[in-house]
Structure formats: C-alpha cells, structure tokens
Amino acid sequence: MLNIFYGDMSDAVYNTASYFKYDYEDEWIVDSFVKKMILDVDHSTVLDSGVIDSPVLGKIPPLALSGGVKTLILVKFNTTKVFNASTRGDNCAKWLLKIAEKEDRTINLRHLMDFGDEPFMIHILNTNQTVHSMAELIPIAGEFV
C-alpha cells in the first residue's frame, strides 16, 4: 500500500533529482517496469542502461530524465529513504500506485497530487486514515499542505 505523509517532513529527501544523480544504478534503468514508466511519462525509449532516446532532446543519459521519473525510480528501488514526491506531476500518480500495489512504500507530498478517478487505497500517515478516492483524500490531506 502507498503511505503518504503530507506537509513538511524533516527526514524526507527534498531534492530528489540531486539524490538520483549519485544513487541510481544501471540495472534500474533497464528494468522492464522502469522502461514502461519512462516511455509513458517522458515519451522516451531506453536503448541501454546509459542511453535513452528522447523525442525532444535526442539521445540522453539517465541524468537527463525528467524529475518525475527520477523520483519514481528512487521510490521503486531505494526503500531505505522517504522521498519528496512533490517533484512529480500528476502524470506520475498512477505509477506511484502501481509501485505500491504489491509492496509498501512511503512518500512525502507537499501538494495535493491528483490520483485520478479510479478507486485506490492510500494510507495517510498524518491521521492514520486509509482513503479510497480523491473525495476522501482531499479534506484530510488539504489540512497539511
């Protein structure tokens, strides 16, 4: 399940792009799940662990991926840290839910990310409540961001 702490969280990694720079591993980039995320969010194709084909930027290294994808990759593979997920746009929300489908993940959000119209299960750590829709989530989370 996806656990979210809303608002300022002192031990969360705030600058996720900077953290990714010295933390990512080659195997993460060529993971089949990650390839799908990169294709969906960045519209880019992973050619190998060091080269990604972007329709706008040309051939780019993993460090030039979007901030959103970098944070998603960190959330998937680095389970020792809590990351500030407000560096991701709403187009990353479904991937957050997919990452946390089978394993627990905890993230920090400092804005109201839109998790869409489909039912979901999110545990809000601030109040220890589980919500299943944006209609349930907004009145609770909005108090903290």
The structure tokens 């969280």 sit at: 9
Do residues 107 and 3 touch, judged by C-beta distance below 8 A?
Answer: yes
By beta-carbon proximity to another protein, the closer residue of 59 and 104 is 59
State both tokens at 84. 């500030």
Nearest distance from C-beta of residue 87 to another protein, angstroms: 6
The residues that touch another protein, with contacts defined as CB under 8 A, are 14-18, 41-43, 56-58, 66-69, 86-92, 110-111, 139, 142-143, 145
By beta-carbon proximity to another protein, the closer residue of 42 and 124 is 42
Nearest distance from C-beta of residue 29 to another protein, angstroms: 16
Round to whole Å and give the CA distance between 31 and 50: 13
| End-to-end Cα distance, the chain | 21
